[in-house]
C-alpha cells in the first residue's frame, strides 16, 4: 500500500550568461541574460522535476537525464517534467499542489508569473490554482544578488490516486 500523501522538495541553480531570452517556467522571458546548462537550463522546471521525483523516492533529474548525454543537449525541460509526472502517476499518486520560489536579481519575473503558472499547470496536468509561484531577489547578496546565478526551490504534495499503467509505446 502506498502512503496516502507524500511531500517532495526540489532545488536547482544555474549560472547566468549574456544574451537572452531567459527560459524559465516553460516560457521565454525577454532578458539580456540566459541560464547556462546542457539542456534548455530551465531552473524552475528542473526544481519541479526533482520535487516530484523526490516525493516518490525515484532517482533525481541528473541521474535520469545526464548532463553529459548528447540526447539531452538543448532539450526542452518540459520533457523531463513530463517524465516525472508519468512516474508519479505510475506509482498511483496524483499531484496535489506545487509551491515554487524563483530567486533572481534580474529580470523582474512578476509580470510573467501568470504565464509560468499556466504553462506549469499544463505540463503537470493540474488546475492552475494549485500552482503557487513567487519570485524573489537576493537584495544584492551573493551570486544571485550579483546576477551571476538563478535558483528555484519547490515543494510538492502528492496523494494516493489510481495506479496508471504506462502508455503503450508508439
pLDDT tens, residue by residue, 50-67: 999 999 999 999 898 878
Q: What CATH number is attached to the domain comprising 18?
A: 3.30.1330.50
* Residue 170 included in any domain: no
* Residue 167 included in any domain: no
* Residue 165 included in any domain: no
Is the Cα torsion angle 102, 106, 112, 115 positive or negative in sign?
A: negative
* Residue 115 included in any domain: yes
* Residue 168 included in any domain: no
Q: Please give the sequence-ordered ranges of beta strands (E in DSSP) within the chain, or none if there are none.
A: 5-18, 22-24, 27-29, 33-35, 93-103, 131-136, 149-160
Q: Dump pLDDT digits (tens) for 79-118.
A: 999 999 999 999 999 999 999 999 999 999 999 999 999 9
Q: Quote the percentage of the chain above a pLDDT of 70.
A: 94
Confidence band, pLDDT 50/70/90 cuts, at residue 170: low
pLDDT over threshold 60, residue 168: no
By residue range, what is the domain housing residue 54? 5-159
* Residue 107 included in any domain: yes
Q: Tell me, what's the pLDDT at 51? A: 98
Q: Tell me, what's the pLDDT at 169? A: 59
* Residue 31 included in any domain: yes
* Residue 152 included in any domain: yes
Listed in sequence order, the residues at least 6 apart from 27 whose beta carbon sits closer than 8 Å to its beta carbon are 112, 115, 116, 119
Q: Tell me, what's the pLDDT at 165? A: 64
Q: How far is CA 115 from CA 19, 28, 163, in A?
A: 22, 10, 31
Confidence band, pLDDT 50/70/90 cuts, at residue 167: low
Whether the Cβ atoms of residue 131 and residue 41 lie closer than 8 Å to each other: no
Whether the Cβ atoms of residue 148 and residue 16 lie closer than 8 Å to each other: yes
Q: How far is CA 15 from CA 4, 72, 78, 91, 143, in A?
A: 38, 18, 20, 34, 9
For 153-169, what is the mean pLDDT? 80
Q: At residue 64, what are phi and psi to the nearest 5 degrees?
A: -85, -35
Confidence band, pLDDT 50/70/90 cuts, at residue 137: very high
Listed in sequence order, the residues at least 6 apart from 47 whose beta carbon sits closer than 8 Å to its beta carbon are 10, 11, 12, 100, 152, 153, 154
Number of domains in the chain: 1
Amino acid at each position: 500500500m502506498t502512503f496516502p500523501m507524500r511531500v517532495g522538495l526540489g532545488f536547482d541553480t544555474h549560472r547566468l550568461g549574456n544574451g537572452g531570452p531567459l527560459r524559465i517556467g516553460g516560457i521565454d522571458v525577454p532578458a539580456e541574460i540566459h541560464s547556462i546548462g546542457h539542456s534548455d537550463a530551465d531552473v524552475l522546471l528542473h526544481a519541479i522535476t526533482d520535487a516530484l521525483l523526490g516525493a516518490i523516492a525515484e532517482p533525481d533529474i541528473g541521474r535520469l537525464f545526464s548532463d553529459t548525454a548528447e540526447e539531452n543537449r538543448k532539450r526542452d525541460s518540459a520533457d523531463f517534467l513530463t517524465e516525472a509526472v508519468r512516474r508519479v502517476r505510475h506509482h498511483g499518486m496524483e499531484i496535489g499542489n506545487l509551491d515554487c520560489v524563483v530567486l533572481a536579481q534580474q529580470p523582474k519575473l512578476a509580470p510573467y508569473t501568470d504565464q509560468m503558472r499556466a504553462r506549469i499547470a499544463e505540463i503537470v496536468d493540474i488546475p492552475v490554482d494549485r500552482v503557487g509561484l513567487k519570485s524573489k531577489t537576493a537584495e544584492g547578496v551573493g551570486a544571485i544578488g550579483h546576477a551571476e546565478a538563478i535558483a528555484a526551490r519547490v515543494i510538492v504534495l502528492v496523494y494516493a490516486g489510481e495506479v496508471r499503467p504506462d502508455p503503450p509505446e508508439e
